[in-house]
């Protein structure tokens, strides 16, 4: 875990993580030894199991319950006030299951990221694994992207692909994808912490380094 309460290194960035549920991606971020300070974990649900996990890691938690607000605008305003009190450089949605208003998203332009359980732009929305199996796709996966007002779209930072196997159920496929989510989300946040990403004028993201090794996932495998 790389939670450094009280650290005041000038260059160290600050991270806020938003959750709604079990928080396994949040846990992956907390345990990834990231070069940042985790200022808080915020949930829109008081009973999100991930809150206890955060506390066990010594992270401050907050609840901004969407049910306490009459509309999206007022909820998002309260959420933004709670986030901004932590002065984060990066805000990571980790299974945060609320649609955010354009105003909120714009406020965090370039520093709000999300993980989604599909190879976007395919299968935005819910039930991604069941829909992928129904369509018979052979490769599925997960995506970390900058958040824009367009739900489950936005500049893609990193993706991981997994094979869809003949006997897969939504649960077995979800498990395979989730293992990759726990690898790519810390990587994406690490790049953000290190200012390693370039978001160009066309909304595409590049690593500000040279070549990447290329390889192919072929599924089913060639014989």
Q: Which residues bind ligand GAR (CB under 6 A)?
A: 19, 21-25, 50, 94-95, 115-117, 152, 178, 181
For ligand GAR, which residue has the nearest CB? 95
Q: Would you say 88 or 117 has its CB closer to ligand GAR?
A: 117
The single residue listed with the structure tokens 């052979």 is 138
Whose Cβ is closer to ligand GAR: residue 142's or residue 205's? 142
State the minimum distance, in angstroms, from the CB of residue 24 to ligand GAR.
Answer: 3
In sequence order, the 6+-apart residues with CB closer than 8 A to the CB of 69 are 75, 78
Active-site option among 66, 109, 116, 145: 116
Q: Which of 57, 70, 110, 68 is nearest to 88 (CA)?
A: 110
Is 116 catalytic? The answer is yes
Residues 6+ apart with CB under 8 A from 157: 113, 144, 145, 146, 188, 191, 197, 205
Cβ-based nearer residue to ligand GAR, 168 or 181: 181
Task: Provide, rounded to whole angstroms, the least separation between the CB of residue 73 and ligand GAR.
Answer: 21
CA atoms within 13 A on the CB side of 195: 4
For ligand GAR, the closer CB: 7 or 171: 171
- In the bound complex, what is the minimum distance in angstroms from residue 187's beta carbon to ligand GAR? 15
CA distance 154 to 132: 21
CB atoms within 10 A of CB 3: 18
What are the catalytic residues?
A: 116
């Amino acid at each position: 875990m790389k939670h450094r309460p009280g650290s005041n290194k000038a260059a160290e960035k600050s991270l806020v993580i938003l959750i709604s549920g079990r928080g396994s991606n949040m846990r992956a971020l907390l345990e990834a030894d990231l070069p940042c300070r985790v200022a808080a974990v915020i949930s829109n649900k008081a009973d999100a199991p991930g809150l206890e996990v955060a506390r066990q890691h010594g992270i401050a938690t907050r609840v901004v319950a969407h049910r306490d607000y009459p509309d999206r605008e007022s909820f998002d305003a309260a959420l933004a006030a709670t986030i901004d009190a932590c002065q984060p450089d990066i805000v990571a949605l980790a299974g945060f299951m609320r649609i955010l208003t354009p105003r909120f998203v714009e406020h965090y332009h370039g520093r709000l990221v999300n993980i989604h359980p599909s190879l976007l732009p395919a299968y935005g929305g819910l039930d991604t694994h069941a829909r992928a199996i129904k369509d018979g796709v052979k490769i599925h996966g997960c995506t970390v992207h900058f958040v824009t007002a367009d739900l489950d779209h936005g500049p893609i930072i990193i993706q991981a692909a997994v094979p869809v196997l003949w006997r897969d159920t939504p649960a077995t496929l979800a498990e395979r994808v989730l293992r990759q989510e726990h690898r790519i989300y810390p990587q994406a946040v690490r790049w953000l912490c290190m200012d390693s990403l370039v978001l160009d004028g066309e909304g595409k993201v590049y690593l500000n380094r040279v070549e990447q090794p290329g390889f192919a996932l072929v599924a089913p495998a060639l014989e």
